[in-house]
Structure 1
């Protein structure tokens, strides 16, 4: 999930709204993936490398994958950036995308979080922690006064429902605070990827009993990959 350190200074991120500097009447696109590749490494079907297809830009420029706004709104209407849309998913959904050198694109905005009804958000199936209203009174009051949690939670689109990836406590507190809907960053991903992200972000804060419950739930959802996911999360947390 991390970026290649060759590209730490790239000014474009997933979820940014961009236009093509070379298009006289450009349509808006949304950045959905930043492969850790230079343009000399990306092949354009029938035309060689992205670098040779864009000779006026540096060969060491970063590859940026963008999808036009109308395609995003049709295929991934709740996408709000931050994390990528996987290229194999774009291909699976026949969602046409385009590769650009980063310097060919001009940022004009950023996709905003999606307002989601709290009744449409389900907890992660691996979540195994309860929260106390008495211990979180100030936290709940802050959310009530602000009108939304900060930072906004991260969820994934599961067709007619949404599932929490990160922010269970913020969503729970929003319920207690009496809110009806909240802004969320929304991603699209399969069960395995969701499990990997959840484990990396949460397992290190779980006690032994909570980890045991989470492990059983991972095994029920992703089968034999549960051990690999837990090991990978442990290594990531130790870095």
Structure 2
């Protein structure tokens, strides 16, 4: 039964109910504003209400039809060659994580389409889903399902970052980089950044501990951001400020290579350096011992420093560290000149 038929039926019942007329106040006078007592009259009386309800039904049906049309049109497949990537927006995965994603997509459909923004030149800019696109490329696929989002250009990076921020696997270092970009772009305080992201201010403050690590340490972390969390970074940053910057870099290098745990890295950076022996006389050999055993012997003459090790493995490790130290000294010399 249609809405109109239902209203007509109700109006007829109302007319039947009103069939007994009340006594008139004066003979021949009809009460002012009295309702019509015939079926056509009742229908005419209710017609404005019926028309209004019919309009509301039509609007609701049109809205549902539009929604069904939009749902039917998305997602749609776009050739991979038409997708553009903006630097700094991709969430970095470890080789293991990427391999897992790729193998998952090899056998299963893409549940979460890639979010893109349509560009004026007919291409599409990736907003979220860079790694899914990379996985499709690695699998030799030609196109990927996408949904087109309409987001203002100035908030695209923020939207992509906050979307990644909700991922539990996003490393703390990547979160720091995202907050740093947002701070540089907007000038927001850490408190404002925390409010916008919906996280405690203390969390944002801890993430910015990466800011206080030596530049070389941050470069090492960029290659393996999943290897260090914000708590470890905060401890290492404190040690760097206390004068242990060189040991912090060593600790981070060992940490990201998997030779130390985060706890061990903090311990390595926090150990007190061995007391150096007094500068020997020129040309006089100096022995360096590890307990009672000889570790190496060095002798200096003019601009030459010669070191002889007892063990080739120790020589290889020391050579790498000495090369790094010499490079730092060289850069410092160039800066000071």
- Please indicate the TM-score interval, normalised by the length of the shorter structure: 0.3 to 0.5
Max radius of gyration: which structure?
Answer: 2
Higher strand share: 1
Higher helix share: 2
Q: Please give the TM-score of this superposition, normalised by the length of structure 1.
A: 0.46
Q: Please give the TM-score of this superposition, normalised by the length of structure 2.
A: 0.35
Using CA pairs under 8 Å that are at least 6 residues apart, name the structure with larger relative contact order, 1 or 2.
1
